[in-house]
Amino acid sequence: MITAEQKPLKEIIEYISPYDRILLVGCNECVTVCAAGGRKEVGLLASALNLNCLKQGRTIDIKEITLERQCDPEYVEELVSEIDRADAILSMACGCGVQTIAERYKEKPVFPAVNTKFMGASVSQGIWAERCQGCGDCLLGITGGICPVARCSKHLLNGPCGGTSNGMCEIDPDVDCAWRLIWERLKALGMEKRYEEIMEAKDWRPAGGGGPRKIVREDLSL
């Protein structure tokens, strides 16, 4: 899933300070799971913004709404009935959601309330770690299900660098060396031979090096 963290309150307050009527929009998908922009966080942020305004002696009208998915135009359409009553939109979705709203409601300023971080998985409750960089050409089939692109600090494709120390990465003693993990996994699977295969230089164009990416599925297009 896409992970995110709420922006500092100060930054959010600065964004919305010129406006009196705010449409605060959450998303029921990834940001709900990582507790950054779901219904609960929408309520909490609305309360904090309200508290801030009350302290300044002014009132603010915050309409809270949480969409099923902010990155889909079908769900973003649900805001039509609310949009006229708002001076600005504050989105708690990832960057995809913010942009979908901005594209649909061109006449209203849209501000992000979270910083979108990375594609990650839940390691344990309250901890998420990066697991995929969306390189567009998945290598997991030959690396024992552990991604060297996302988990090696240097994105190395043919074994560890000299910075590996006791199986950990030189950037941080708490970060596993991805290639140590890959080797251990391949060994456990009896697939050591895979490790010896030299990977050619990776084509980074599908990873974004060729400009913004797009998927077109004509069979699904209307």
Partner 1 sequence: MENFEPEIVAFCCHYCAYTAADMAGSKHIYYPANVKIIRVPCTGKVDTIHIMKAFEKGADGVYVAGCLEGDCHFKNGNTRAKYRVEQVQNILKDLGWEIERLEMINMSAGMGERFASTALEFTKKIKQLGPSPIKIINTEKHQQVAD
125 binds partner 1 (CB under 8 A): no
**Which of 95, 39, 44 shows the shortest CA–CA distance to 70?**
95
Give the range of 3-11, 64-72, 127-135, 205-213 binding partner 1 by CB under 8 A. 3-11
Under rule CB under 8 A, residue 48 binds partner 1: yes
Closest distance between partner 1 and the C-beta of residue 50, in Å?
6
Site for partner 1 (CB under 8 A): which residue of 15, 43, 175, 194?
Answer: 43
Q: Residue 54 or residue 121: which is nearer to partner 1 going by CB?
A: 54
Contacting partner 1 (CB under 8 A), which of 14, 54, 68, 188? 54
Say how many residues touch partner 1, by CB under 8 A.
15
- For 43: left if phi > 0, alpha if psi spans -120 to 50, otherwise beta; the answer is alpha
Which of 17, 40, 68, 191 lies at the binding interface for partner 1 (CB under 8 A)?
Answer: 40
Closest approach of partner 1 to the CB of residue 71, in Å:
26
Rounded distance between C-alpha atoms, residue 127 and residue 133, angstroms: 18
Interaction between residue 171 and partner 1 (CB under 8 A): no
Q: Which of 108, 113, 95 is nearest to 9 (CA)?
A: 113
- Judged by CB under 8 A, the stretch of 48-56, 86-94, 138-146, 153-161 that binds partner 1 is 48-56
Tokens for 103, please give them: 């594209």
35 near partner 1, rule: CB under 8 A: no
Footprint on this chain of partner 1 (rule: CB under 8 A): 8-10, 40, 43-44, 47-48, 50-52, 54-57
